[in-house]
Amino acid sequence: MPRTAILGLGQYLPERVVTNDDLAKMFDTSDEWIRQRTGISERRYVEDGTGPADLAVPATKQALENAGLELEDIEFIIFATLNPDYFFPGSGCILQDKLGVPGIGALDVRAPCSGFIYGLSAADAFIKTGMYKRILLVGAEVHSSGLEFADRGRDLTVLFGDGAGAVILGATEKDEGILSTHLHADGRYAKDLWMEIPAACYSPRLTKEHMDEGRHYPKMNGRKVFKMAVEKLPKVINEALDANGLAIDDIDLLVPHQANLRINEFVAQKLGLPPEKVYNNIHRYGNTTAGSIPIALNEAIQEGRAKKGDTIMLAALGSGFTWASCLLKL
Ligand SMILES: CC(C)(COP(=O)(O)OP(=O)(O)OC[C@H]1O[C@@H](n2cnc3c(N)ncnc32)[C@H](O)[C@@H]1OP(=O)(O)O)[C@@H](O)C(=O)NCCC(=O)NCCS
C-alpha cells in the first residue's frame, strides 16, 4: 500500500496587521493581558469582501510551486474551515471555481481546529486505497468578519486571526509521509465553543432578536477549552506514539495547533518535550484554526526547524470538541 507524503506546502496571510494595541482602542483589553494569557502579539485581518477561499488561492499556488506541480495535477480538493465562505455550497467548490479546475471533487471538513488533521486523515485514506494520487488540502479561515469587537466578546475576539495554509498530498512508495492519524470528538461539549446563529434548526434562521442578543457571534467557555486541551492533547499524542511503537524522544518536532501559547507550553511540559522541539508562531498570527497547523509546519520548514526525514507530530483540539493527532515523516 502506498503512503501519503506532503509534496509541497504554501500559506497566505492577509497583509493587514492588527496589534493588541489596535484591539485595545476598540474595547477594554490590553497588550499585557493578551500577551500574558495567550502569547499573541498581533494577528492578520482581511479587507472586506475577502473569504477563506480567496486566501486559499495564493496558498494553493505556493504549495503547487513548492511541489513542482501544476493545477491540472490536483485530482481532489479537501477544504477545512469553520468559516465557510457561504452557508452552502462548501468552500471547496468556491475554491475550485477560483482555481479554474472544474469537475474534480471538492469536500469540506467542518472539524474546526482539528480540521486540518481530519482532512489529512481523509486524504490519507483516499490515497492509500488508490482512489486519488494527488489531493489539495487547505485549511483557511476568515474570522475577522464574524468577531464581536466589544467588551462582551473580548475573551474570544483577541484570540483569532485570518489566514490559510495548503498542502499537496501524493502517493509515495518511499519511507516518508503519514504514519498514522487519530481522530476524536465529544459532542457533549459542542456549546462550549460554538456559533449558534444562523441555524437550520430555527425558522427563520436569523432574526433581529438573535442579533440583538449577539447569538450570531462565536461564544467560548475559555477555561473548559483550556482544561480539555491540556488533558486531551498529551493523550492523543501518546496514542500516535504507541500506534507506531515510538517514544516521545523519537519526535523531532511537535507542531501543535496554535490556540494559546500557554496550552502548548503545558502540553510540552506534560510530555517532557523541550521547548526547542515545539514550534509556535501564535505571537504573529493568533489562532487561524484550520489554517494554523499547515502555516506552522510550512514556517517550521522554511526556518529550518523541520527538515526532510524528520519525524513530526501534529496535534490539535478545538470546537466540537474535536481533537486529533498525526505522526508523519517529512
Ligand atoms: C481565554 C483565556 C485566555 C482566558 O483566560 P483566563 O485566565 O481563563 O481568564 P478568565 O476567563 O478567567 O478571565 C479573567 C478575567 O479577564 C477578563 N478578560 C477576559 N478576556 C479579556 C480580554 N481580552 N482582555 C482583558 N480582560 C479579559 C475576564 O472578564 C475576567 O475578568 P474578571 O476577573 O474581572 O471577571 C483562556 O481561558 C484560554 O486561553 N482558554 C482557551 C481558549 C482557546 O484556546 N480557544 C480556542 C480553542 S481552539
pLDDT of the chain, 330 residues: tens digit per residue: 889 999 999 999 999 999 999 999 999 999 999 999 999 999 999 999 999 999 999 999 999 999 999 999 999 999 999 999 999 999 999 999 999 999 999 999 999 999 999 999 999 999 999 999 999 999 999 999 999 999 999 999 999 999 999 999 999 999 999 999 999 999 999 999 999 999 999 999 999 999 999 999 999 999 999 999 999 999 999 999 999 999 999 999 999 999 999 999 999 999 999 999 999 999 999 999 999 999 999 999 999 999 999 999 999 999 999 999 999 999
Which residue lies with its CA nearest to atom 4 of ligand 1?
A: 222
Of 280, 278, 275, 271, nearest to 241 (Cα)? 271
DSSP state of 307: -
Substitution site in 36, 141, 155, 220 for ligand 1 pocket (most atoms within 8 Å of beta carbon)? 155
Q: Which residues contact 121 (CB under 8 A, 6 or more apart)?
A: 181, 183, 324, 326
Indicate the SS3 state at residue 85.
Answer: coil
From the list 194, 205, 207, 166, the residue with the least C-alpha distance to 294 is 166
3-state secondary structure of 44: strand
- Is 238 annotated in the active site? no
Cα gap 144→47, rounded to integer Å: 9
Ligand 1: does its nearest atom lie under 6 Å from the Cβ of 61? no
Confirm whether 113 is a catalytic residue: yes
Does the pTM surpass 0.95? The reply is: yes
In the set 257, 260, 264, 281, the catalytic residue is 257
For atom 18 of ligand 1, the residue with the nearest CA is 155
CB 124, CB 330: distance < 8 Å: no
Q: What is the pLDDT of residue 312?
A: 98
Measured at the alpha carbon of residue 290, what is the angle toward residues 289 and 291, in degrees to the nearest 5?
A: 90
Is 184 among the residues known to form the active site?
Answer: no
Q: 115-139 burial by CB neighbour count: b if 16+ within 10 A, else e?
A: bbbbbbbbbbebbeeeebebbbbbb
Q: Distance from CA of residue 193 to its chain's centroid? A: 15
User: Which amino acid is located at 44 in the chain?
Assistant: R
Query: Residue with the nearest Cα to atom 27 of ligand 1?
Result: 155
For residue 218, the CA-to-ligand 1 centroid distance in Å is: 14
The phi, psi pair for 40, rounded to 5°, reads: -90, 135
Q: Ligand 1: distance of its center to the CA of 27 in Å?
A: 14
